[in-house]
Amino acid sequence: MASLFMNTLKATLPHVSKDLFPRYNNLNKSKAFLPITKKHFSPTPRRSSSSVSSLTPQLDQTLLDYQEDDRPLSEIWKEIQGFNDWEGLLDPMNSHLRKEIIRYGEFAQACYDSFDFDPHSKYCGACKYQGGHFFDKLDMQGHGYKISRYLYATSNINLPYFFQKSKLNSVWSVHANWMGYVAVTTDEGEIKRLGRRDIIIAWRGTVTYLEWIYDLKDFLCSANFTNDPSIKIESGFYDLYTKKENSCKYCSFSAREQVLAEIKRLLDYYRGEEISITITGHSLGAALAILSAYDIAEMRLNYMDHEESKNRIPITVYSFAGPRVGNLKFKERCEELGVKVLRVINVHDKVPTVPGIFANEKFQYQKYVEETMSFPWSYAHVGVELALDHTQSPFLKPTNDLGCAHNQEVHLHLVDGYHGKGRRFCLATKRDIALVNKSCDFLRSEYGVPPHWRQDENKGLVRNREGRWVVPERPRVEAHPEDTAHHLEQVLKIASSSQVEAI
């Protein structure tokens, strides 16, 4: 069956410093660290080229039936975060929801824009920027968030096209890759606008195209986060999330342990406040987003002092172009735990169709096959789907490149223009169309935007005192905060006591 899956898939897809992170002293509850601009949505358009942006209004922007939601986001944030599974907000598309999808999508895109995937760099596989300057370097200063910590995973698993390694002998790490970050709102103006303090986890996806799908082991393994062995996850995602390498300081804690410890620390620090946990990612990062959301909920970290569910901290996932993660039991357990997932997909993208080509949530007898026959290749998508179609955008050209259909910036462009099924494509936030071609070639030629245009100035080289062009040394990055083990221990105590209560 596994070989049949691979043959079917291949027929479908072409080959193609210690002061770095703010800790207790820096994550103030009082006044803001970061200035917040009056324009609260999508900071990315400040990167726009005026000559390109001026082309955007050539499309008729009038929509007689389109109205802005004039309610403050702070009053309806739970609804926007999926409290009612986004009922009535997707068709027609609610203006607050659109801006929030794009905003969280840009947090996911930041993982790509900051990742060093140059095999000729000794920092290949690392983040380009220090945590204290992360958002400034990406021209995302106005959003009101601060990096809390970076996340790492060991590359010693069977996903070779996902991990990036340097060709040089002297490298920053032999075993680790940078996977994303945890950030938290620290600006009082943004907290007021959102109606709560938001903790975000952003996961990096793949910098290569779709080759990593070929390396999915295509079999399920028990999640082992609970006593129920019937809840299963694709083994490649599970390994990526849970494996560690004791000989590597960056991977001495697994990605899972890093996430759980940091979430516990932040929730303890901001105890008593209105808080949300939002997780985002694109492609394989979307799989990690759903997996980590489930894990946080299963470990009951979002229950404050084991209080009733009415005081449960909401967990929301904004997933972009993500594959299926686990079996039907996994999907059902996520729903029981109250994890809210909004999956943004392009109907022409192949990644959301795998794994589970033969037995998935669309199969009428999946529950019977999974439970009675113990079918080992049964997968189900979690959450609510927002299906977009890139052929509806008049800015995009026809292409056979499936990488364009999978691209994150393309998804954000489609969200900006989507107003509901059967409604005309119309850019609502005027997000710069030049961003579409940041890492692909999808815009029509008349817009004059070169493909794959985003790169570091001089490809990161600087001239030293001797006049030579060199790769500059980067400040030493803290692997794990000293209190990681302490907070992880607290997490395990919570989980143990919850399991005893369940028994």
Q: Annotated catalytic residue: which of 42, 121, 283, 393?
A: 283
Q: Annotated catalytic residue: which of 116, 198, 218, 349?
A: 349
pLDDT digits (tens, 9 = 90+) for 378-412: 899 999 999 999 999 999 999 999 899 999 999 99
pLDDT at 195 over 80: yes
State the CB neighbour count (10 A cutoff) for residue 413. 26
pLDDT at 309: 59
Mean pLDDT of the region 137-166 = 87
Q: What percentage of the chain carries pLDDT values higher than 90? A: 64
Annotation marks residue 40 as catalytic:
no
Structure tokens at 366: 């999946």
Q: Identify the residue whose tokens are 């793949």.
A: 206
| Residue of 380, 388, 239, 361 whose CA lies nearest to 323 | 380
pLDDT digits (tens, 9 = 90+) for 108-120: 999 999 999 888 8
Annotation marks residue 406 as catalytic:
yes
pLDDT at 38: 33
Confidence (pTM):
0.87
| Residue of 237, 299, 313 whose CA lies nearest to 489 | 299
pLDDT at 209: 59
Beta-bridge partners for 153? 177
Confidence class for position 210, pLDDT limits 50, 70, 90: low
| Residue of 412, 462, 415, 419 whose CA lies nearest to 437 | 412
Rounded-to-integer distance, Cα 477 and Cα 335, Å: 38
Mean pLDDT of the region 221-227 = 90
> What domains are defined for the chain?
73-388+456-502 (3.40.50.1820)
pLDDT at 31 over 50: no
Confidence class for position 19, pLDDT limits 50, 70, 90: very low
Annotation marks residue 283 as catalytic:
yes
Q: Annotated catalytic residue: which of 406, 419, 480, 487?
A: 406
Rounded-to-integer distance, Cα 53 and Cα 297, Å: 42
pLDDT at 307: 54
